[in-house]
Amino acid sequence: MKFPFPRTHRLRTAAEFERCYARKRSVSDNVLIVYACENGLPHPRLGCSVSRKIGNAVTRARYKRLFREAFRLTQHQLPSGVDLILIPRPGPEPTLATLQASLIKLAHQAARKLTPSSSGGRSTETPAPGIAKPAPPTRSTTDAPHAPTKSQPGTLLPPQRPTAETPPTPTETPP
């Protein structure tokens, strides 16, 4: 049986990586850190991020090859419609079998984090049926104790407060 790994199954642009990092859904174990986000496709996609903390260029390239091979062999066991970014943990280089087991486990954990739980957990965004969500408090500009005053068109200045060191007025003479 063939297990292809075409370009359509890879994260390639910086924008795709940023979108996945911005989703802030990650899981980890002692081998990998996996970031995940939805991709709207019928298959998972892989991105690799191996920092210089892991080793020199040869070592980093080896990790990327291991990640790609583990993904290629397990892609049919991974959740579909998910982008995955794999980051290795510092330490000894893992074996392919260890990476495969870790990838399958972590990919499913990350996919569960992406979908809202349907096991009775209520979201904070939608209130329970029959209960109205309270409106956020509003403040008018007259309620603000330090509302800026308008001195010139298009310029807002903070309110002027008298201070103890006010300059003398022209009618007063200094003693």
pLDDT at 135: 52
Domain positions in the chain: 7-113
Taking the alpha carbons of 76, 78, 81, 84 in that order, is the dihedral positive or negative? Answer: negative
Determine the average pLDDT of the residues in 15-38: 91
pLDDT at 30: 92
pLDDT at 7: 80
Query: Is residue 87 pLDDT above 50, yes or no?
Result: yes
Q: Name which of 144, 173, 175 is nearest 159 in CA terms.
A: 144
pLDDT at 121: 44
Taking the alpha carbons of 17, 7, 101, 40 in that order, is the dihedral positive or negative? Answer: positive
pLDDT at 114: 83
| Contact yes or no for 59/44 (Cβ under 8 A) | no
7-113 domain in CATH 3.30.70.1060? no
Find the helix or strand (DSSP H, E) in which 17 lies.
helix 14-22
**Strand pairing of 45-48 and 82-88?**
parallel
Q: In this predicted model, what pLDDT tens digit does every residue of 42-72 receive, in sequence order?
A: 889 999 999 999 999 999 999 999 999 999 9
Q: Which CA distances in Å does 141 have to 14, 129, 144, 145, 149? A: 43, 35, 5, 9, 11
Residue 84 vs residue 7, higher pLDDT: 84
Q: In this predicted model, what pLDDT tens digit does every residue of 110-168 receive, in sequence order?
A: 989 887 654 444 444 444 444 444 455 555 555 545 544 555 555 555 556 655 665 55
Least confident of 82-86, 104-108, 140-144, 157-161: 140-144
Cα–Cα distance for residue pair 137/31, rounded to 1 Å? 47
